Amino acid sequence: MLKAYFWGLNHSPLLPKKKAILVSLCISILLMLAKFGAYFITHSNAILTDAAESIVNVFASGFAFYSIYLATLPKDENHPYGHGKVEFFSAFVEGTLIGIAGLIIIFKSSYDLIFPRQIFQLLEGAVIIGSTGVVNLFAGYYLIRTGKKHRSLTLEADGKHLLTDAVTSGGLVLGILLIKMTQIFWLDSVISILLGIYIVYSGYKLTRTSVGGLMDESNTDLVKTIVGILQDNRQDAWIDVHNLRAQQYGSDLHIDCHITLPYYYDLNQVHTEISDIDKLINGSGEHDTELFIHADPCLPECCSYCRMKNCPVRSEAFSGEITWTVDNATKNKKHFQ
């Protein structure tokens, strides 16, 4: 499983990402024009809500394209860890734009709730908005699938944005039909306000994820996967692993940890053990995944859980293995401490 995971990390060409974001950009422009067309024939404030968010889609897709270009640039002297972190910034910008659009929608709709406007041709508007929602639904799933495959937060963020747009469009169509049936036209602004709140919340979630990445928040799922693979392939000489951290910058993965080895191992033996861990983690045989492994010497207190057979310096009998978990592998101390 880990081999397939890291294979996806190590083989992330620019072309599929570029193609996906260009598709998103073209779709966003066409749907924006369609939604504004629907607004002009209906004068519906709720439809204007959806059209205004489409402007955000266009700007976000354009910035996403630029961030993907930056993320694929090679490492240089000024960026020794590569440029992948720009994807977090891209997601932050997109989340912020979504939130601002939602707030503008809420204020505009609140005003129109007090000073209502006449609405026309609701059924025609519902058909247009419903069609754009279906297109956004398929485009969103396409971007999310491509983003997960090539480990691109930017594509995933743009895909989630389009899915949000599809949901709001679906809610909007139901609202328009309700207004048509009841002839209660102030519902137009109420629906718009509710959709605006949902849009603000979606922007917050996206911004929260990006800030976590910019602040080097640990990737818990990734750490759990790594610890599981190390535990399943555990060697006797690997007495314990601790202070394990993992970060993903774009398609690049950086892992560092401490590994406790028998203190009497010479440098060649230590190098061999660390190389074995490196190959295990990389999985694919490529070394785009960077590992920084610090080797710690064992202490007498390690003997009780050390599995080394025929150890010449054992001071205490082996009493049982300590299973490696996210909890003990991420702490910065040996397992007896």
Does 336 map to a domain? no
Say how far apart CA 24 and CA 60 lie, in whole Å. Answer: 10
Two structure tokens written together for 205? 């979630």
CATH code at 309?
Answer: 3.30.70.1350
The burial class, CB within 10 Å (0-12 / 13-18 / 19+), for 268 is: exposed
More confident residue, 291 or 150: 291
Say how far apart CA 334 and CA 180 lie, in whole Å. Answer: 68
**210 lies in the same domain as 234:** no
**81 lies in the same domain as 140:** yes
- Single-letter residue type at 15: L
Does 171 map to a domain? yes
**263 lies in the same domain as 142:** no
Query: 314-328: per-residue pLDDT in tens?
Result: 988 889 889 999 888
Mean pLDDT of the chain: 81
* Last-in-domain residue among 214, 235, 250: 214
Does 335 map to a domain? no
Residue 114 pLDDT > 60, yes or no? yes
99-134 per-residue burial string, b: 16 or more CB within 10 A, e: under 16: bebbebbbebbeebbeeeeebeebeebbebbbebbe
Number of domains into which the chain is organized: 2
**168 lies in the same domain as 56:** yes
Residue 291 pLDDT > 80, yes or no? yes
Residue pair 334/260 in contact (Cβ under 8 Å)? The answer is yes
**240 lies in the same domain as 198:** no
Mean pLDDT across 142-165: 81
Query: 225-258: per-residue pLDDT in tens?
Result: 888 888 989 999 999 999 998 876 655 677 889 9
- The whole-number pLDDT of residue 2 equals 44
Does 91 map to a domain? yes
Does 334 map to a domain? no
Does 337 map to a domain? no
Query: 200: domain range?
Result: 2-214
What percent of the chain clears pLDDT 90, i.e. is strictly above it? 15
Specify which residues 292 forms β-bridges with: 256
**203 lies in the same domain as 246:** no
Query: 269-280: per-residue pLDDT in tens?
Result: 999 999 998 888
Query: 123-151: per-residue pLDDT in tens?
Result: 888 889 899 989 989 999 998 888 887 77
Cα–Cα separations (whole angstroms), residue 282 to 1, 4, 254, 262 = 12, 10, 11, 24
Query: 30-89: per-residue pLDDT in tens?
Result: 999 998 998 888 888 778 777 877 887 787 778 777 777 777 777 777 776 666 777 777
CATH code at 10?
Answer: 1.20.1510.10
* Last-in-domain residue among 195, 214, 233: 214
